[in-house]
Amino acid sequence: MAGRRASVSPAQPWRVATLCALSRTSARRRAARRRPRGQGEPFMDEVVCIVGGGIAGLGAAHFARLQGLTPIVLEESGSLGGRAGAVCHNGEWFETGGKNFASDWTLFNGILRGFHSQTFDRQHPNFHIVIRDRLHAFDKKATLTNGLNMIRSVGLRGVLRFNGLLKRAARERDELTYFGDAIRRHELRYDPRPVNAHVPAILAEGPLRMFTIIMGAAEPDEFSFATLLLLLSSFGKGSHHSLPETTAVLFKHLAQGTDVRTGHRVTRIAVDNGRVTGVEGRCGGTPFHIPTGRVVVATPLHRVPVFLELGAAAAHAVASIPYHPLALINADYDEDVFTPEMNSIMFDPGSPLGHCSANRMHKRHSVRFTLSGRRARPLLTLDDDRLLSIAQDAFRRIHPIRGRLRYAHVQRHLGGLCAYGFHYSESRRRLLSVLDGTRGLAFAGDYLFGHNMEGCLQSAMAAVRHLTGEIGSYHRLHAYPESACGHDAAMRTLLAVPS
């Protein structure tokens, strides 16, 4: 794959310029004063190499620039965005992975405020779930109709148990966070068996599988109960949106002013005497070497051992944090497939489909088929046509597709989604101990503070703060803004830009 440097033009130059002017001077001064862990030693330089051009990597580049550093992003594929990327077909963009964000995500919305009008596409307010071959309607609000629908679908016992879980998640909310070490207390206190061991089968197959499949491409028997409670603790809160111009516009903004090198695969992070000294890799057939004293690793966790030597304990931790594969097919038809009342379907464990939804509320002819879960996994390497026909057949068993297919795009995410795993806090502790022993190294990604785009940005900010010596340990981090960046003027400036 040929390497190229992305040239990115500002979406709204005046805003970006104002923002940079406000933050640059003080950030440079602060950066010049800071030292990586092991105070007193000089910076090798101001370059920070970032491995991976997904949202965690480009987020790290963005925060690094605000801190007066010079980021270089090395991305092995030919495009940016990773699992939240977007592609264009006949002039129309669509996401090939992550797309929705919540109204209460501080960093994500803060970044958007810097360049984007606050007009978003609304996400589906309700959803349908196939439970034992029947389609049931739900919405996120506690209405009488929803209550009755739930009783019809999972029975009174199921409803009581579900409500009990929601109450418990609300009660224990302070512990249900990946910040600090709070989740550890929760994990130590409770029965570590998977979700299905804690609830009636019908709940595990239906409403709760929706969380495990959408957030981790995992079955309930592969998903930790603590992680489920963590997801339930924010269920129904805030509203969810997507960007009218797709995530492509976000990545364009984040890459703004950064040296981004696509087609650059990192094969080794060089460490000498407990200190990062450079990054090595290949661009096409040509090897490259970039000397630097700071690296942010922003790839999925399971990729890290390929280019970084980890001790046995950390390698074991990597293996115990599972990623489950899936495929996403964007298919466009010449007639609507969904209706205003029904635009999102969660399938049952017997189906190769995990979840399907209309691409946008106003694009009901455009379908996102997600093939995920145990039934889907052996099929994911079939060719595109076969995969599409399996998806359509499974969908038609539940709901008709009347229109003719105009085009389809298949994106396999064989690396998968992070499902956190059992005893996650212990795995993370072992993993992060690598950072204590290696100066100039930081991690960012979906395995640290949540498997969504906000979690990735939080981890990106934490990584930059770790490299500038502001935080010694990720375990000392608490959710934004209290300590993650509450006293950082440059970050505050970023977040304070009015819409």
Ligand X SMILES: Cc1cc2nc3c(=O)[nH]c(=O)nc-3n(C[C@H](O)[C@H](O)[C@H](O)COP(=O)(O)OP(=O)(O)OC[C@H]3O[C@@H](n4cnc5c(N)ncnc54)[C@H](O)[C@@H]3O)c2cc1C
- Contacting residues toward ligand X, per CB under 6 A: 51-57, 74-77, 82-84, 97-101, 265-266, 298-300, 303, 306-307, 328, 370, 413, 417, 445-446, 451-453, 456
Q: What is the DSSP string of 289-312?
A: EEE-S-EEE-S-GGGHHHHS---H
Nearer to ligand X by Cβ, of 71 and 97: the residue is: 97
Beta-carbon contacts of 455 under 8 Å, excluding residues fewer than 6 positions away, are 178, 446, 448, 449
The answer to whether the CB of 463 falls within 8 A of the CB of 60 is yes
- The length of the chain, given as a count of residues: 499
Q: Which is nearer to ligand X, 159 or 213 (CB)?
A: 213
Nearest approach, Cβ of 331 to ligand X (angstroms)? 14
To the nearest whole angstrom, how small is the minimum distance from the Cβ of residue 280 to ligand X? 11
Q: b/e for 25-56, b at 16 or more Cβ within 10 A?
A: eebeebbeebebbeeeeebbebbbbbbbbbbb
401: exposed, middle or buried (C-beta count within 10 Å: 0-12, 13-18, 19+)? middle
CB nearer ligand X, residue 20 or residue 283: 283
* Rounded Cα distance, 314 and 430, in Å: 5
**Cα-flanking dihedrals φ and ψ of residue 140, to 5°?**
-85, -5
67 CB-contact burial (10 Å; exposed 0-12 / middle 13-18 / buried 19+): buried
Residue linked to tokens 């976000």: 250
Instruction: Find the shortest distance in angstroms from Cβ 443 to ligand X.
Output: 10
Judged by beta carbon, residue 196 or residue 357, the one nearer ligand X is 357
- Supply φ then ψ for residue 54, to 5 degrees: -90, -165
Which residue matches tokens 């495929």?
A: 327
Which is closer to ligand X, CB of 203 or CB of 301?
A: 301
Q: How far is the CB of 467 from ligand X (least distance, A)?
A: 17
Q: Where are the beta strands (DSSP E) in 79-143?
A: 86-89, 92-95, 101-102, 121-122, 126-131, 134-139
Cβ-based nearer residue to ligand X, 81 or 220? 81
Tell the smallest beta-carbon distance from residue 428 to ligand X (Å).
15
Query: What is the nearest approach in angstroms of ligand X to the Cβ of residue 76?
Result: 4
Provide φ and ψ at 431, rounded to 5°. Answer: -65, -45
Report the residue number, 159 or 215, with the smaller CB distance to ligand X: 215
Q: Which is nearer to ligand X, 154 or 255 (CB)?
A: 255
Residue 18's CB is within 10 A of a number of other CB atoms, namely 14
The C-alpha atoms of residue 113 and residue 499 are separated, in whole angstroms, by: 5
Q: Which is nearer to ligand X, 220 or 300 (CB)?
A: 300
Report in angstroms how near the CB of residue 65 gets to ligand X at its nearest.
17
To the nearest whole angstrom, how small is the minimum distance from the Cβ of residue 256 to ligand X? 17
Among residues 38, 49, 12, 65, the alpha carbon closest in space to that of 273 is found at 38
Long-range contact set of residues 143-149: C-beta below 8 Å, sequence gap at least 24: none
* Distance separating alpha carbons of residues 217 and 219, to the nearest angstrom: 7
CA neighbours within 13 Å on the CB side: how many for 179? Answer: 17
Tell me the closest approach of the beta carbon of residue 449 to ligand X, in angstroms: 11
Smallest gap from Cβ 151 to ligand X, in A, equals 29
CB of 392 to ligand X, least distance (A): 18
Of 330 and 392, which CB lies nearer to ligand X in the complex structure? Answer: 330
